[in-house]
Amino acid sequence: MTKSITLPSGKIATVRPGRGYDLLQAQLKAKTSEEIPYALIAELTEIDGQKLVYEDILELDLSDVIALQAELSGKFQTTAQQTVEKTNRETVVPFNSPTPKA
């Protein structure tokens, strides 16, 4: 679901849900692995109705970039946290269970 947020600068950002294709495009456009998050923001975000390119993200106010990073990382953290919680529940071994012998 597409989400609109007001950035600290007052601009309106629209962030759409990503797909694997978007990540691949970001990886291809980034020059280094450190630049992938910025390229991914460009793939998924419009600001004030304008589609962005990677270099546009680098020119935004720092507070806007941080807000966009937080928006995107929040989506991934929720998924990652659910995965960790599910994994932890599945691997819990009762304290009094017998120890497997080799």
Q: Could you state, in order of their start, the residue ranges of all structural domains in the chain?
A: 3-89
pLDDT above 90 for 90 = no
Q: What is the pLDDT of residues 32-89, one digit of tens each?
A: 999 999 999 999 999 999 999 988 999 999 999 999 999 988 766 544 455 455 555 5
- Record the pTM: 0.70
Longest dimension (CA), the chain: 64
pLDDT at 75: 66
- 61 phi/psi in degrees, rounded to 5: -60, 145
Q: How far apart are CA 40 and CA 72, in angstroms?
A: 9
Place of tokens 């978007």: 22
What is the CATH code for 3-89? 3.30.2220
Q: How far apart are CA 29 and CA 6, in angstroms?
A: 26
Contact of 72 with 37, CB cutoff 8 Å: yes
